[in-house]
Chains A and B, each alone.
Chain A
Amino acid sequence: MQIYLPIAEVSVNAFLLLGLGGIVGVLSGMFGVGGGFLMTPLLFFIGIPPTVAVATEANQIVASSFSGVLAHFRRRTVDIKMGVVLQIGGVIGAALGVVVFNYLKSLGQVDLLVKLCYVVFLGVVGGLMFIESLNAMRKSKRSGGATPVRRQRGWVHVLPFKMRFRTSGLYISVIPPILVGVCVGILAAIMGVGGGFIMVPAMIYILGMPTKVVVGTSLFQIILVTAFTTMLHATTNYTVDIVLAVLLLVGGVIGAQIGTRIGVYLKAEQLRILLALMVIAVCAKLGLDLLLMPAELYSLGPAGGH
């Protein structure tokens, strides 16, 4: 069944969108990631204009994160105070990101920016995750899965404006969490991702937060930042397509529930290696598109800018 998207002004198959939402939902349920980093490139591939894809994906992430954070609230694994600090940074970052996005759109370089961001971040994160989980697998074979707990005491602990985060059991400066928030906010606005894949490692390795509150807090933070991004894109670019968002949502939430069940049967290290391989695959595909000569050298855009 073809459906006409009122904002994107293209007609796409509704079942294709439901299916895409479903597949990405399954993966996000399995791996506990938002899936934005997979969904946005997939939307590019099926012909949704990149600006619409990025803005709409931000809206969809609001839904999936909200659905996810409720479970964490019930289990009390959300550090609200830390979340709010991260959100302050996130909102600043999102505003910066949208300004950069709109500027580059007027130069005609926004596709390049989005794709470069994907290649760089997916490459780095995928690569690190792959190496780390290979090491973890080797270690767990030797020592029966006992992972050493180690708190970093580095530059994070000498900065001023310290604050106590009771749920995380931390007493650190607010500067690093705000900076982390800003970075993730910029990425959310430019790449149309929640930023969980950056946020989660940053929380563990830079802020030293305990693993059990990391996912809930990151989801909590993502809701506000992506909601803010959605509003910015909706009011400055008019590129949020609500019909597209709803179709992706329906597939996504169902897929996520299925994915969670599948995830139970796999070991954590295996999951992470699979996720790392997937991230690297998406990165390689986007990277090749930039390196190889495109079939069509010309592209059309609305007038304006310069």
Chain B
Amino acid sequence: MIRSLIASLSLGIAALAYPATAGEEEVVLGLSQDRVAITATFDGSEILIFGAVKRETPIPDGDPLQVIVAVSGPSSPVTVRRKEKKFGIWVNTDSVLVDSAPSFYAIATSAPFAQVISDTEDLRYSVSIERAIRSVGAAMHIRGAQDFAEAVVRIRENRDLYSLRENTVAVDQQTLFRTAIDMPADLTEGEYKARILLTRSGEVVSHFETDIDVRKVGLERFLFALSREQPFVYGLMSLAIAIAAGWGASAAFRLLRNS
């Protein structure tokens, strides 16, 4: 009786101690840029993410260290609509509200995804693309509600907004790692999150988060802000430009014809 109590107690201590030893491996991170400026000629960006694993103790035995790098854009609810044939034409009918889907999501891993992280750990840290999308309130009365969440992934993968690239994180000596994340031209602005997870045999041993600021700058910033904050002024300005351009074109070509 007492022996079994001691046994379970020591088991408990072992379980408690486990994260502490795991915590001895920590991420020291570097980014090639911690802000992305969307200018008028912006056509995508590549962010280099590199770092080292800091540890006080020797490299543990067993499976080698694996690294996952996930960069996600700001999340927002998305309405997904499905077309159906009605009266001979294709019409939007059913719609499902996906509570939260990131506008951008790129994962890079150092080995095939299933090997670097176990399913339970994936569930806990919401790493995979499917887990990063939340659709709790999917309506039950619509058949194939799951298809709608899959459609979000498929459509955004086709537009290079979502990607899973396995074996693209290079790990040296279980200590140095680096990867490059491509960001497409069609970015929405906001706070992007870069997450780095270190895993051993599918268990997360350390994770680290940092922000990447994606902002429109210069003229783009000015026009966007004006259109939202002073829509009336923005509208008048669009009209003024249009009328000036129309008048200018007419005057210019009249000069050309007369000369």
Q: List 7 additional A-B contacts (Cβ < 8 Å) besides A294-B83, A303-B97.
A: A11-B185, A231-B232, A238-B227, A254-B249, A297-B84, A298-B152, A300-B81
Report whether A235 and B235 are in contact in the complex, using a CB–CB cutoff of 8 Å. yes
Q: Complex: how many Å from CA A209 to CA B97?
A: 52
**B187: chain A residues within 8 A (beta carbon):** 9
Report whether B83 and A301 are in contact in the complex, using a CB–CB cutoff of 8 Å. no
Bits for A52-73, please: 1 = Cβ < 8 Å to B, else 0: 0000000110111111101100
Q: Complex: how many Å from CA A305 to CA B79?
A: 10
**B89: chain A residues within 8 A (beta carbon):** 112, 290-291
Q: Complex: how many Å from CA A290 to CA B228?
A: 34
Report whether B92 and A4 are in contact in the complex, using a CB–CB cutoff of 8 Å. no
Q: Complex: how many Å from CA A67 to CA B223?
A: 25
The interface centre, meaning the residue of B220, B224, B239, B243 with most chain A CB atoms within 10 A of its CB, is: B239
What are the 6 tightest A-B residue pairs by CB atom distance, in nearest-first order? Answer: A11-B185, A66-B246, A234-B235, A298-B151, A303-B77, A253-B249
Q: A235 with B78: in contact, given A70-B250, A296-B155, A299-B83 (CB under 8 Å)?
A: no
Report whether B239 and A231 are in contact in the complex, using a CB–CB cutoff of 8 Å. yes
Q: A108 with B79: in contact, given A242-B238, A245-B238 (CB under 8 Å)?
A: yes
Tally chain B residues at the interface, Cβ within 8 Å. 59
Q: Complex: how many Å from CA A298 to CA B154?
A: 10
Closest chain B residue, CB of each to CB of A65: B246
Q: A67 with B247: in contact, given A109-B92, A238-B227, A301-B81 (CB under 8 Å)?
A: yes
Report whether B41 and A3 are in contact in the complex, using a CB–CB cutoff of 8 Å. yes
- Residue B82 CB within 8 A of the other chain: yes
**B253: chain A residues within 8 A (beta carbon):** 257
**A67: chain B residues within 8 A (beta carbon):** 245-247, 249-250
Q: How far is the CB of A185 from chain B (nearest CB, A)?
A: 17
A residues touching B (Cβ–Cβ < 8 Å)? 1-4, 6-7, 9-11, 59-60, 62-68, 70-71, 108-109, 111-112, 227, 230-231, 234-235, 238, 240, 242-243, 245-246, 249-250, 253-254, 256-257, 290-294, 296-305
Q: Complex: how many Å from CA A230 to CA B236?
A: 9
Choose one: B155, B186, B245; the contact of A298 (CB below 8 Å): B155
**B59: chain A residues within 8 A (beta carbon):** none
Q: How far is the CB of B198 from chain A (nearest CB, A)?
A: 34
Closest chain B residue, CB of each to CB of A119: B89
Report whether B41 and A4 are in contact in the complex, using a CB–CB cutoff of 8 Å. yes
Q: How far is the CB of A155 from chain B (nearest CB, A)?
A: 33
- Residue B42 CB within 8 A of the other chain: yes
- Residue B123 CB within 8 A of the other chain: no
Q: Provide 29 A-B residue pairs closer than 8 Å at the C-beta atoms, listed in order of the A residue.
A: A2-B41, A2-B185, A4-B43, A9-B187, A11-B43, A62-B239, A62-B243, A108-B92, A112-B91, A112-B92, A234-B232, A234-B235, A235-B231, A238-B227, A242-B227, A242-B238, A242-B241, A243-B40, A245-B238, A257-B253, A294-B90, A296-B151, A296-B155, A297-B84, A298-B147, A298-B152, A299-B155, A301-B79, A304-B79
- Residue B76 CB within 8 A of the other chain: yes
The interface centre, meaning the residue of A3, A243, A292 with most chain B CB atoms within 10 A of its CB, is: A3
Q: How far is the CB of A298 from chain B (nearest CB, A)?
A: 3
Choose one: A111, A230, A253, A298; the contact of B148 (CB below 8 Å): A298
Q: A253 with B82: in contact, given A2-B185, A298-B155 (CB under 8 Å)?
A: no
**A112: chain B residues within 8 A (beta carbon):** 89, 91-92
Report whether A71 and B250 are in contact in the complex, using a CB–CB cutoff of 8 Å. yes
Report whether B246 and A63 are in contact in the complex, using a CB–CB cutoff of 8 Å. yes
Q: How far is the CB of A73 from chain B (nearest CB, A)?
A: 10
Report whether A299 and B76 are in contact in the complex, using a CB–CB cutoff of 8 Å. no
Closest chain B residue, CB of each to CB of A7: B227
Closest chain B residue, CB of each to CB of A293: B90
Choose one: B220, B228, B232; the contact of A4 (CB below 8 Å): B220
**B97: chain A residues within 8 A (beta carbon):** 303
Choose one: B42, B76, B154, B224; the contact of A303 (CB below 8 Å): B76
**A62: chain B residues within 8 A (beta carbon):** 239, 242-243, 246
Q: A302 with B83: in contact, given A7-B223, A294-B90 (CB under 8 Å)?
A: no
Q: Complex: how many Å from CA A9 to CA B78?
A: 16
- Residue B180 CB within 8 A of the other chain: no
Closest chain B residue, CB of each to CB of A256: B249
Q: Complex: how many Å from CA A66 to CA B231?
A: 23
- Residue B216 CB within 8 A of the other chain: yes
The interface centre, meaning the residue of B186, B216, B245, B247 with most chain A CB atoms within 10 A of its CB, is: B245
- Residue B85 CB within 8 A of the other chain: yes
- Residue B234 CB within 8 A of the other chain: yes
Q: A253 with B155: in contact, given A6-B220, A297-B83, A298-B81 (CB under 8 Å)?
A: no
